[in-house]
Each structure stands twice: as structure tokens, then as C-alpha cells.
Chains A and B, each alone.
Chain A
Amino acid sequence: QLTQSPSPLSASVGDRVTITCRASQDISTYLAWYQQKPGKAPNLLIYDASTLQTGVPSRFSGSGSGTDFTLTISSLQPEDFATYYCHQLDSFPLTFGGGTQVEI
């Protein structure tokens, strides 16, 4: 089970934003972060907990291992207002956090 917080998250352009994801058991670094905008497929941002996917802006970063993980956006941009999900691939059933909607 993955527990994400906060939700929703109210922020302004330029803010530093941190989203946390807590796993109910040790998942090592088998964690990814996705961004999703309305009507679109989830977009991979971070995999293996801290590896930035090719083409993703460097203002996104991930950290953590074991049970506690964070996604940080160093300076929120207008195009970053979206819903963010964490996702564990350590064991079945594969699970997702409940999502964090980042809103103005």
C-alpha cells in the first residue's frame, strides 16, 4: 500500500513543492513518479526512486528508499499544475498512491 500526501496541494508559481509517498513495507527503490494532466496518459517523471526520465526538466527530483519517498519540484512552473502519482513495482499487487493534485 502506498500513502501519498498532501492532497490536494495548493501552491504558486515559483514555489518549491514536495510530495511524499510512504510504503507499507520495504520496496527498496522500486518506485516511480508520474504526472498526469486531464484527458492524458500518465507521464513518467522519475524511476528507480531518483532517476530522472529523459526529457523531464531538471526542476523535478526524487529521493528515498525503503518506505519513504519524496518528489520535489524546485520551482513550480505553470505547466506543472497536474496530478502526481507514486507507483511501486516491488511486488504484486502493483500499487499506486492515491494521487496529489497540485493546484493554484
Chain B
Amino acid sequence: EVQLVESGGALVQPGGSLRLSCLGSGFTFSDYTMNWFRQAPGKGLEWVAHISNGGITTYYADSVKGRFTISRDNAKNSMYLQMDSLRAEDTAVYYCGRGYYWGQGTLVTVSS
């Protein structure tokens, strides 16, 4: 069974940084591309970033380009999202996804 577990969400001040992690199990992690998504309170779903299975190719939503960095460590079955220069509008539940499968999410709150 595919399982994805996010962690690392927290309360952080505007301008601060945070690193999210996603641990995958139940599949060969290195065979799959991965994504991060998010959902702001009361809002719809938004794609954030993508990484190829080998970690070479990455794509970002315009709203996070230059501030967020996606990476992965296939030896640890893990993917990461380094979030810098955080803004209030980055407040959201962040989900990692493998194709159509998503985790349960981790909450990031950006507030002073």
C-alpha cells in the first residue's frame, strides 16, 4: 500500500524558513516523480513543486519560485521542501503526492 507521511509543519514568522519532509513507503521511491501541493485555509488546492525520480528536474509554481526548493534523498525514501522568505499567504496545509496519491498533510502557519 502506498503511504506518504509529511512532517515539519510549524508556526513561523514572516521572512522565516522551514523545511518539510515527506517519507514514502509501500513502493519503490526512486521509480517515481513526486510533487508538493498546498491548501490555504478555506481555499482550493494548489500545486507547489515537482521533482523527477532522479532529482535532476524540478518545476515550481510562480507563487513560490525563487523562495522554495524541492529535493529528495532516494536512499532515505524521502522528499523535502525548503521554504525560505515565508509570507503570510504561504499559510496552508502542505501535502506531498506521488501521482494521484497524497499524504495527510502538515500545517504551516506564517504569522507574527
Which of A's residues lie within 8 Å of B, judged by CB?
Answer: 32, 34, 41-42, 44, 47, 53, 85, 87, 89, 92-96, 98-99
Expressed in whole angstroms, the minimum distance between the Cβ of B30 and any Cβ of chain A is: 20
Kindly list chain B residues whose C-beta atoms are within 8 Å of the C-beta of A92. 47, 50, 59
A-contacting 9-mer, from B21-29, B69-77, B78-86, B102-110: B102-110
11 A-B interface contacts by CB (under 8 A): A34-B45, A41-B93, A41-B104, A53-B100, A87-B45, A89-B100, A92-B47, A93-B47, A94-B35, A96-B47, A98-B44
Given contacts A96-B44, A96-B47, 17 further A-B contacts (CB under 8 A): A32-B100, A34-B45, A41-B95, A41-B104, A41-B105, A42-B45, A42-B95, A42-B102, A44-B102, A47-B100, A85-B44, A87-B45, A92-B50, A93-B62, A94-B35, A96-B46, A99-B44
Kindly list chain B residues whose C-beta atoms are within 8 Å of the C-beta of A47. 99-100
Chain B 28-65 interface 0/1 with A at a Cβ cutoff of 8 Å (1 = within): 00000001010000001111001000000001011000
- A93, B62: Cα distance in complex, Å: 9
Expressed in whole angstroms, the minimum distance between the Cβ of B68 and any Cβ of chain A is: 14
| Cβ contact within 8 Å between B50 and A89 | no
Cβ-closest chain B residue relative to A53:
B100
Kindly list chain B residues whose C-beta atoms are within 8 Å of the C-beta of A44. 100-102
Q: How large is the interface on B (under 10, 10 to 19, 20 to 34, 35 or more residues)?
A: 10 to 19
Kindly list chain B residues whose C-beta atoms are within 8 Å of the C-beta of A98. 44
| Cβ contact within 8 Å between A41 and B44 | no
Expressed in whole angstroms, the minimum distance between the Cβ of A56 and any Cβ of chain B is: 12
| Cβ contact within 8 Å between A89 and B95 | no
- A87, B46: Cα distance in complex, Å: 10
CB < 8 Å neighbour of B45 from A53, A89, A93, A96: A96
Q: A93-B47, A94-B47 are in contact. Are A41 and B100 (CB under 8 A)?
A: no
Kindly list chain B residues whose C-beta atoms are within 8 Å of the C-beta of A85. 44-45
- A94, B99: Cα distance in complex, Å: 11
